[in-house]
Amino acid sequence: MDGNGRWASERGLPRHAGHRAGVQSVRSTVERCVQLGIPYLTLFAFSSENWKRPRQEVSFLMELFITALRQEVKRLLKNGVRLRVIGDLSAFPIKLREHIREAEYLTQENSRLQLLVAANYGGRWDLTQAVRRLSAEVVGGRLTLEQIDENTLSMFLAFEGIPDPDLYIRTGGEQRLSNFLLWQAAYAELYFTKVLWPDFDTSAFDQSLMEFARRERRFGQVLSPKSPSVQD
Give me the active site residues, please.
2, 50
**Strand 230-231 relative to strand 81-86: parallel, antiparallel, unpaired?**
unpaired
Helices (H) and strands (E) in the chain — how many of each? 7, 7
**Three-state DSSP class for 161?**
coil
**Angstrom distance (rounded) from CA 3 to CA 7:** 6
10 Å CB burial of residue 128 (0-12, 13-18, 19+) is: exposed
Find residue 47's DSSP bridge partners.
Answer: 121
